[in-house]
Structure 1
Amino acid sequence: MPTLIASVQRALRLLEAAGSHSEGAPAKQLAREAGLPLPTAYHLLRTLTHEGYLRRVRGVFVLGEAAARLAGGGLQQKRRSMILDSLAHFRDAVGAPVYFAVYREGEIEVVGVSDTPTSPACEEWADFRETGHAHAIGQCLLGQLDEKTRKDYYDRHPVEAITPYTVRDLRSLENRIGALGRMQPVIERQEYALGTICAAIPITAGDTVATMAISLPLHQEERLLYVVNRLQSEVGALLSTLSFSISI
């Protein structure tokens, strides 16, 4: 096991050395920078090239697709961590569960949720992606789309009542969406989950269609407007710390 760990450490040093040269570097240079004997470096470079972590181009080694995927995964994780940290901040600021969602590739995607044991998030008992007409998150995202894109969504996810309070037909839903102001919050009461009220605010950031939302138990309805207003006042800080051109 110590020998295996040492081999991994040497391979990582070679990758780091290769990554520091945008135009690539020859084996002798990489061995020197990684502090490895040349035969050891040659062996590891062959293995890393075979596995796709390096490519040999005109006698020099450059990072390969597998290394790029590793780097991309790390960046992806960092972005997700930033989102969750920000949502936790807003959760504490407004005293309610906070959600962040986007409309991407034709579907509603809840990117992150932050809640607490004493103030839990709404349980996803019906797939959020298929029931956008029934919850504030979906209605807010759909309201930011053009008519053609919304129609595509409705064709794949028809409007139907999932609680006694859900909007019952497409015409009623479109009338509601059409009556919304450009940056007006969307509020729904028990349309997705009985005993729960939700509100969502649109997020404008380039081409990204996004929303932040909160949920409350029905008996706390008197807090709703305060919580929504507080969330709106805090959103500017989120936009200043995160990029919403997120590829998660």
Structure 2
Amino acid sequence: MVLKREPTASFHSVRYILRVLETVSQHGGGVTETVIARESGLPPLHLAPILRMLRREGYVERLPDGAYAAGASLVLLGSDATHRQALEAKLQETLSALRDTVGAAVYVSRYIDGEVRVTQFAAGPRTPAVREWVDFRSAAHASAAGKCLLNQLDQNGRRDHLARHKIARLTSRTVTNERQLFSRLDAQPATVPVLDLQEYAVGTVCAAVPLSAGAAVGCLALSLPVEHAHRLRAAAETLNRRAAPVALSLTF
């Protein structure tokens, strides 16, 4: 599999976040924002929102004197014995908070060994998950998550996937022409959420944003009942803005 393009904006944000975490970790007794900015190479204007996010997610904490130190989440992730469990628990916590913020079921999907896989999700009574009436692995051409993942592959990677999972009409809105599908993917701006307007399932609309980190291909998605379609674009924009903590988890 070959990535279609350079890492997306989400990855570049994560790269800067990792610089900040590395700087904080190197100063066990705490480090000031000025020193973090100097050692990470980030201007204060960009550093401030990153620090706010890292505090919110528990990766750093602010000491009484205003300096920053490693937070509980970062300390826990640094333990080899509990790393995997801690990472999954932290990601689930992040997804649950995001679900409540956007008022929709949210999902993390990955492209692993040539297959679309939903690796984690958060749903609830008021935010039901989409019913998987057709295996997501066979519906990449129709679902927002699947299209977002395919959009991160090159042409050969896409063709390989569709050779193994033939395009099928799932609803009257499903695009079943490969050339038309590829044309839409090529025209999709990297910073704009990919939408599924009842292409996978009648009665459900979805959106997805990329979570590319190095060689990993992933996305963050949400689904809404069609009666809430008027909230889709606003929810997708929020999803895009809040993607960094989820993308960060893919790098650990």
User: What's the TM-score, normalizing by structure 1?
Assistant: 0.66
Pairs aligned (count): 174
Structure 1 residue 245: Cα displacement: 4.2
The 3 A distance-change label for structure 1 pair 73 and 132 is farther
For 1:52-86, what per-residue CA distance to the aligned partner results, in whole angstroms no more than 9, with x for missing partners?
A: xxxxxxxxxxxxxxxxxxx9895433322222111
Contact 2:94 2:245 in 1 (8 A): no
The 3 A distance-change label for structure 1 pair 73 and 155 is farther
Is 1:168 the counterpart of 2:176 in the alignment?
yes
Given candidates 226, 230, 244, the residue that maps to 1:236 is 244
Q: Which residue of 1 aligns with 2:60?
A: none
Letter in 1 for 2:239: L
For 1:21-79, what per-residue CA distance to the aligned partner results, in whole angstroms no more than 9, with x for missing partners?
A: xxxxxxxxxxxxxxxxxxxxxxxxxxxxxxxxxxxxxxxxxxxxxxxxxx989543332
* Separation of aligned partners in 2, 1:159 and 1:80: 33
TM alignment of 1:127-166, pairs within 5 A: 127-166=135-174
Q: Which residue of 1 aligns with 2:127?
A: 119
Contiguous gaps of at least 5 residues in structure 2: 1-78
* Separation of aligned partners in 1, 2:145 and 2:214: 19
Contiguous gaps of at least 5 residues in structure 1: 1-70
Q: Which residue of 1 aligns with 2:196?
A: 188
Q: Which residue of 2 aligns with 1:103?
A: 111
Structure 1 residue 238: Cα displacement: 3.1
Structure 1 residue 202: Cα displacement: 0.9
For 1:82-105, what per-residue CA distance to the aligned partner results, in whole angstroms no more than 9, with x for missing partners?
A: 221111111111111101011111
Kindly, what percent of the aligned residue pairs are identical? Answer: 37
Is 1:81 the counterpart of 2:54 in the alignment?
no
For 1:137-173, what per-residue CA distance to the aligned partner results, in whole angstroms no more than 9, with x for missing partners?
A: 0000000011111111011001111111111221111
* Separation of aligned partners in 1, 2:126 and 2:234: 19
User: What's the TM-score, normalizing by structure 2?
Assistant: 0.65
* Separation of aligned partners in 2, 1:237 and 1:126: 30
* Separation of aligned partners in 2, 1:147 and 1:73: 40
Which has the bigger relative contact order, CA under 8 A and spacing at least 6?
A: 2
- SS in structure 2 of the partner of residue 159 of structure 1: coil
* Separation of aligned partners in 2, 1:187 and 1:175: 15
* Separation of aligned partners in 2, 1:163 and 1:186: 18
* Separation of aligned partners in 1, 2:247 and 2:136: 24
Q: Which residue of 1 aligns with 2:230?
A: 222
Q: Rg larger in 1 or in 2?
A: 1
Structure 1 residue 228: Cα displacement: 0.7
TM alignment of 1:2-17, pairs within 5 A: none
- SS in structure 2 of the partner of residue 108 of structure 1: strand
